Amino acid sequence: MGQSLALGIKRKKTFRLEIIHIHLQFRNSMPQVVAAQKILACPAGSNLRHVLLNQEVPVHNGRSRLINCRGLGSCGTCAVKVEEDVSPPTWRDLARRSLPPHTPTRDLRLACQTSVVGDIRVTKYDGFWGQGTQPVWSAERATEGE
Ligand code: FES
């Protein structure tokens, strides 16, 4: 009797650990992007610019919505601040942000050159290239008109 009770407890613990493991696997494979007061789930490795645009979060300011390189990494207008877990900067990202109006020391990333690895929070700043200091939207702040 005591032996079967101990076996039952052990199985229950093992089952619980399996559930936690599956939950963590699912969570890591579908990171959450928090931007403009929206929570966007996407597969790990997704391109950040695509994730934002697909959910109608404006990654480009003003006229740069029409005049941009469409994700080639050359215009620099998709610059955003990203907190937490993303891919390391690509050479295109580093090269473009080393040129004005961007500066290499600023903590921005080009959304089109960034892959989502884990849960992240995103902020977009003002200016044609997103190079300003005033947030246009952030994790807690919606876009204008919402
Ligand atoms: S869209 Fe031009 S650099 Fe990202």
CATH of the domain at 42: 3.10.20.30
pLDDT value at residue 29: 81
| Dist. CA 104–CA 97, nearest whole Å | 6
**Do 8 and 38 fall within a single domain?**
no
**Is residue 120 one of the residues assigned to a domain?**
yes
- Contact present, 116 and 44 (Cβ < 8 Å): yes
Å from CA of 102 to ligand 1 middle: 13
**Do 99 and 131 fall within a single domain?**
yes
**Do 23 and 8 fall within a single domain?**
yes
The DSSP result for 50-65, as a single string, is HHHHHTT---S-GGGG
**Do 69 and 96 fall within a single domain?**
yes
**Is residue 143 one of the residues assigned to a domain?**
no
Model confidence over 95-143: pLDDT tens digits?
999 999 999 999 999 999 999 999 999 999 999 999 999 999 999 999 8
Å from CA of 119 to ligand 1 middle: 22
Is the CB of residue 139 below 6 angstroms from any atom belonging to ligand 1? no
**Do 67 and 133 fall within a single domain?**
yes
pLDDT at 23 over 70: no
Q: How many residues does the chain have?
A: 146
**Do 37 and 25 fall within a single domain?**
no
Query: Which atom of ligand 1 is nearest to 69's Cα?
Result: 2
Phi first, then psi: what are they for 82, rounded to 5°? -120, 130
Query: How many domains is the chain partitioned into structurally?
Result: 2
**Is residue 144 one of the residues assigned to a domain?**
no
**Is residue 85 one of the residues assigned to a domain?**
yes
pLDDT at 14 over 70: no
Å from CA of 128 to ligand 1 middle: 12
Query: Which atom of ligand 1 is nearest to 92's Cα?
Result: 3
**Do 25 and 35 fall within a single domain?**
no
User: Pick the residue with more confidence: 130 or 29?
Assistant: 130
**Is residue 146 one of the residues assigned to a domain?**
no
**Do 10 and 51 fall within a single domain?**
no
Model confidence over 47-89: pLDDT tens digits?
999 999 999 999 999 999 999 999 999 999 999 999 999 999 9
List beta partners, residue 38: 35
**Do 12 and 61 fall within a single domain?**
no
Residue 94 sits in which domain range? 31-137
Is the CB of residue 50 below 6 angstroms from any atom belonging to ligand 1? no
Task: Tell me the average pLDDT across 141-146.
Answer: 74
Task: Find all residues with CB under 8 Å of 113, minimum gap 6, and list them.
Answer: 73, 89, 90, 92, 93
Beta strands (DSSP E) in the chain are 32-35, 38-41, 79-86, 109-110, 116-125, 135-137
**Do 66 and 104 fall within a single domain?**
yes
